[in-house]
Amino acid sequence: MDILRFITAGSVDDGKSTLIGRLLYDSKSIMIDQLEAIEKQTKNKKDGEIDLALLTDGLRAEREQGITIDVAYKYFSTPKRKFIIADAPGHVQYTRNMVTGASNSDLAIILVDARNGVAEQTRRHSIIASLLNIPHIVVAVNKMDLVNNSGDVYNNIVIEYAAFAKSLGLKDVKYIPISAINGDNIVEKSDSFPWYEGSSLLDILETVEVANDINLKDARFPVQYVIRPQTEALHDYRGYAGKLLSGVFKTGDAVTILPSGIESKIKLIEIGGKEIAEAFAPQSVVLHLENDIDISRGDTIVHSDNLPTSSNELEVLLCWMDNKPLVAGNRYLLQHNSRIVRAVVKEIQYKLNVNSLDEEQAPEKVSLNDIVRATIKTASPLVFDSYKKLRTTGGAILIDETSNVTVGACMIQ
Amino acid sequence: MTEKRLDYLEQLESESIHIFREVAGQFEKPALLFSGGKDSIVLVHLALKAFRPGKFPFPLVHIDTGHNFKEALDFRDTLAAEINEKLIVRSVEETIKKKNLTEPKGKFASRNALQTYTLLDTIEEYKFDVLIGGARRDEEKARAKERIFSVRDEFGQWDPKLQRPELWNTYNGKITKGENVRAFPISNWTELDIWNYIRREKIELPSIYFAHDREVLEHEGQLVATSEFITLEPEDKISVKKVRYRTVGDMTCTAAVQSAATTIDDIISEIIATKTSERGETRIDDKVSEAAMEDRKKNGYF
């Protein structure tokens, strides 16, 4: 049993909350008292049926306005998997929320309204999924009941989307016809689509292979914390605590500490106080090195024959997440795993149209939800990989030092 | 060579240890809120994995309402002594006296709301800049939206509309003086994950989590232990039942469940079969309004 983290992209109008409610309800993850609370609220609304969307709309403001304004996390499990859903709103003014939810997802469910086909919103969600490098995509064509469960309508949508997915370079795309409101093809395969040969949505979610998405080639170990008991018995103990973000380490491996470039060998690897011969991503471990070197939080340990890029100039795709606009020349803190450095946004090359992927002229001021291509200069060198190669060492955030708010998400190119 | 993949509990464990170490790396004065309940016991277990053989870079802190179960308090003291870590206990009772606060009235008078005062005073006293807590996102709808690093203003208030975006495994712990952060390492764990982990790691728990005989009164379908903190009335139906606790909070607002489960395996079977959520079955204080938890959080509750 493992974990699948997925994001549902779509708006209330696409039936996104209903889909999530349906997955939770039909997989028996909703408890009686939670259902009763929903029933009580549903009575105050127009429809007579239970409003499954109420399950995910957590905050009062959302319930009052009937919209989803933030990322909510929902959990359910089957005997095969534990699922973590990042439920993010889909309108263009919530691009930052979708980017946030997508950053940790293994899979994205892109909801398409069967009546509208591949719409502007569908393209936007797919573009964001590709920018955030989500490995697996499921296109769920919803509201099939409103197009008489027509196989022709469905097939036309699949053909149109497939061409678009190819242009985006999306690799693993699956398609499924559903009706979230009726529960068709959600948990059980439905009789409503005799022309559909695939399995149910839950079955797809249970079986999509995610273990291979973890990079076991390029070892990257940012040091988070140095364990030094300094007791009599453990006088010389010096352990570097951190999470192996990718790759494998074995005792005896030749390693380099970045950014200093000092070389050493792995003497010992510990996990939860036990010695192990090798560690692999995404384990949290403690490393001991042969030599006594000055290593602290923010340093990265890698294999000497497999080095990441070290540079103080980064080319990034930047999603702006703050109400205050970004202007070229602004200074921020850049947080990249355990390292925080001062940074300045030197130049903004172009703005990406998230509905079409067109490169548009760089705006004077970059606004909330804009995605731009920019050059960032850091005060000291950063150790990174391209986001396309490694999501874990290719992503960074910008922090406004005057407000401490996270204002930008950088995907290093 | 063995296959290099983690199962789901190992993945959760690694994520939680990573969060613990981020807290230790980013803050000056952390503290771990420890009540002797199962979630905070799991937190301590994860902290041991994150920092041993070193000492914890933080003390354990308990805000004692004075209405706690004795079994949980004893367990709290024993565990803190066993692992040789500092335990700070601050009492709501004393805050009430010192500040002339009004005790809530009613049959199940709960000091839950008053806890906030003591908590904020304790933060002030020790200048804590981050409190590590065992809240899980599956517990409640408002918690489902809370960040792993959740920033509070100087009044301890949470503003759900001004949360920082949290991307990848990067947690922004920058704050200004007066603000502090609540960090939740087990955000992504569910109740069942906690129990499965307790079973795998053979983690010890206070005895009240297992079935035992207890004098209870029946109140609107819930079983509440009789104690000096509850006002009994002549018409109350009191009986001795075999019960266990699914959560451990104050005696005044935590209900027991009828159960014969004496082992972790038994408990897990019961949880898998149950049709009621953890909070719904055991918390009397969440039923007041639809947004009860959201309101308390906004006011500085954990």
Tell me: do A95 and A123 sit in the same domain.
yes
Tell me: do A179 and A259 sit in the same domain.
no
Query: pLDDT means per 10 residues in chain B (302 residues)?
Result: 81 97 97 94 97 96 88 94 96 84 76 84 93 90 85 81 87 91 95 94 94 87 81 84 86 84 92 76 58 62 60
Higher pLDDT among residues B140 and A40, named by residue? B140
The average pLDDT across A55-59 equals 60
**Enclosing domain of residue A275:** 220-303
The average pLDDT across A403-411 equals 94
Name the least confident of A150-154, A231-235, A400-404: A231-235
Reported confidence tier of residue A292, pLDDT bands at 50, 70, 90 = confident
A268 lies within 8 A of chain B by CB = no
Q: What integer pLDDT is reported at residue B271 of this predicted model?
A: 85
Nearest CB partner across the interface for B167, out of A31, A100, A338: A100
Q: What integer pLDDT is reported at residue B1 of this predicted model?
A: 40
The average pLDDT across A401-410 equals 94
Mutate to test the interface with A, among B15, B167, B298 (most CBs of A within 10 A): B167
Within 8 A of A248 by CB-CB distance, chain B residues are: 4
Tell me: do A316 and A296 sit in the same domain.
no
Reported confidence tier of residue A43, pLDDT bands at 50, 70, 90 = low
- Kindly report the three-state secondary structure assignment for every residue of B196-216: HHHHHHCCCCCHHHCCEEEEE
Which residue of chain A is at minimal alpha-carbon distance from B279? A33
Of A276, A303, A330, the domain-final residue? A303
B286 lies within 8 A of chain A by CB = no
Of A239, A269, A303, the domain-final residue? A303
* pLDDT value at A29 more than 80: no
Tell me: do A104 and A234 sit in the same domain.
no
B70 lies within 8 A of chain A by CB = no
* Contact between chains at B172 and A248 (C-beta distance less than 8 A): no
Which residue of chain A is at minimal alpha-carbon distance from B1? A278
CA distance A47 to chain B (A): 20
* pLDDT value at A58 more than 70: no
CA distance A149 to chain B (A): 34
Within 8 A of A395 by CB-CB distance, chain B residues are: 167-168, 170
The average pLDDT across A312-341 equals 95
- Which H or E run includes B194? helix B191-201
Higher pLDDT among residues B19 and A67, named by residue? B19
* pLDDT value at A108 more than 70: yes
Tell me: do A266 and A321 sit in the same domain.
no
Which residue of chain A is at minimal alpha-carbon distance from B15? A284
Tell me: do A184 and A238 sit in the same domain.
no
Q: What integer pLDDT is reported at residue A319 of this predicted model?
A: 93
The average pLDDT across A165-183 equals 92
Within 8 A of B164 by CB-CB distance, chain A residues are: 405-406
Of A303, A336, A366, the domain-final residue? A303
- Which H or E run includes B61? strand B60-64
Higher pLDDT among residues B117 and A93, named by residue? B117
The helix-helix angle for A151-168 and A120-131 (nearest 10°) equals: 40
Tell me: do A204 and A317 sit in the same domain.
no
The average pLDDT across A67-85 equals 83
Q: What integer pLDDT is reported at residue A48 of this predicted model?
A: 46
Please give the domain boundaries of chain B with CATH numbers for all domains: 8-192+291-298 (3.40.50.620), 206-282 (no CATH)
Higher pLDDT among residues B104 and A206, named by residue? A206
A84 lies within 8 A of chain B by CB = yes
Residues of B (166-195) whose Cβ lies below 8 Å from A: 166-170, 172, 174-176, 179, 187-188, 190, 192-193
Mutate to test the interface with B, among A38, A230, A243, A322 (most CBs of B within 10 A): A243
Name the least confident of A91-100, A108-117, A201-210, B35-44: A91-100
Tell me: do A319 and A405 sit in the same domain.
yes
Read off the pLDDT of residues A229-284 as tens digits, 9 standing for 90 and up: 988 888 889 999 999 999 999 999 999 999 999 999 999 999 988 999 999 999 99
What is the pLDDT of chain A when averaged over all its residues?
89
Read off the pLDDT of residues A109-127 as tens digits, 9 standing for 90 and up: 999 999 999 988 899 889 9
Within 8 A of A336 by CB-CB distance, chain B residues are: 170
Within 8 A of A339 by CB-CB distance, chain B residues are: none
